[in-house]
């Protein structure tokens, strides 16, 4: 049994168009094609398999380089002839050595911070600042978060855009550590934001005259 057993592509139309997308920052990594066998191998192995139209054979992404694409989730489109595969890449996806086959600007999100904090926590690396904070506990984490937030305020008061950007990055990192320690995921926060977007009056900030954030 696979958690993807309810995904049933329509292979009667030919090869399945497949888009690989990074599971955290949503960066599009590549486009390929699967036949039914490649799709079943992807479900079974948990890494992306494709069918090469030029070589007319199955191939596993990263079979030579080692940069396999670990499957985190899959979504079938409404016509059942295209598949979106969310992946955690073991390395660059493009054969040229770049992260993406497309010329995209670098992207880094709160989910990347979350994944980084999780990775550090699981590594038990003694020299890791993240592990130091986690071992110290919530008082230390909260103190650092508050200090960095205050530094953002100082930067804003000084009208220093570079300082605000740098200190805001520190705030987001320490927020990631705080969320991890508290057992709260970015998805949990996104769910709250989504609910507030649907019902703007649930926003707990200063309410505007119009019905929006």
Structural domains present in the chain: 11-89 (3.10.20.810), 110-182 (1.10.287.1080)
Picking from 96, 111, 97, 95, the residue whose alpha carbon sits closest to that of residue 27 is 111
State the pLDDT at residue 125: 80
State the pLDDT at residue 204: 61
State the pLDDT at residue 196: 87
Rounded CA separation 113/81 (Å): 33
Picking from 91, 85, 99, 101, the residue whose alpha carbon sits closest to that of residue 45 is 85
The torsion region of residue 121 among left (phi > 0), alpha (psi -120 to 50) and beta comes to alpha
Q: Are 124 and 53 in contact (CB under 8 A)?
A: no
State the pLDDT at residue 120: 92
State the pLDDT at residue 209: 47
State the pLDDT at residue 210: 45
State the pLDDT at residue 205: 60
Q: How many CB atoms lie within 10 A of CB 75?
A: 12
State the pLDDT at residue 207: 54
The torsion region of residue 62 among left (phi > 0), alpha (psi -120 to 50) and beta comes to left
Walking along the chain (213 residues) 10 residues at a time, the average pLDDT comes out as 88 96 92 97 97 95 95 96 96 92 84 91 88 96 97 97 97 97 95 83 56 53
The helix (run of H) or strand (run of E) holding residue 34 is strand 28-34
């Amino acid at each position: 049994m696979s958690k993807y057993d309810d995904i049933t592509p329509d292979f009667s139309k030919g090869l399945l168009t497949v888009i690989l997308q990074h599971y955290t920052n949503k960066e599009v990594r590549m486009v390929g094609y699967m036949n039914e066998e490649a799709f079943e191998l992807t479900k079974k192995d948990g890494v992306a398999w494709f069918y090469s139209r030029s070589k007319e054979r199955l191939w596993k992404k990263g079979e030579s380089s080692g940069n396999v694409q670990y499957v985190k989730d899959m979504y079938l489109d409404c016509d059942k002839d295209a598949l979106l595969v969310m992946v955690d890449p073991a390395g660059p996806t493009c054969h040229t050595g770049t992260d993406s086959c497309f010329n995209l600007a670098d992207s880094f999100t709160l989910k990347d911070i979350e994944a980084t904090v999780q990775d550090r926590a699981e590594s038990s690396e003694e020299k890791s600042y993240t592990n130091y904070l986690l071992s110290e506990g919530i008082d230390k984490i909260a103190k650092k978060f508050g200090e960095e937030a205050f530094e953002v305020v100082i930067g804003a008061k000084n009208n220093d855009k570079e300082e605000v950007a740098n200190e805001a990055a520190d705030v987001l990192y320490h927020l990631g550590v705080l969320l991890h320690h508290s057992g709260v995921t970015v998805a949990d926060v996104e769910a709250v934001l989504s609910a507030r977007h649907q019902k703007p009056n649930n926003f707990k900030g200063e309410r505007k005259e119009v019905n929006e954030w």
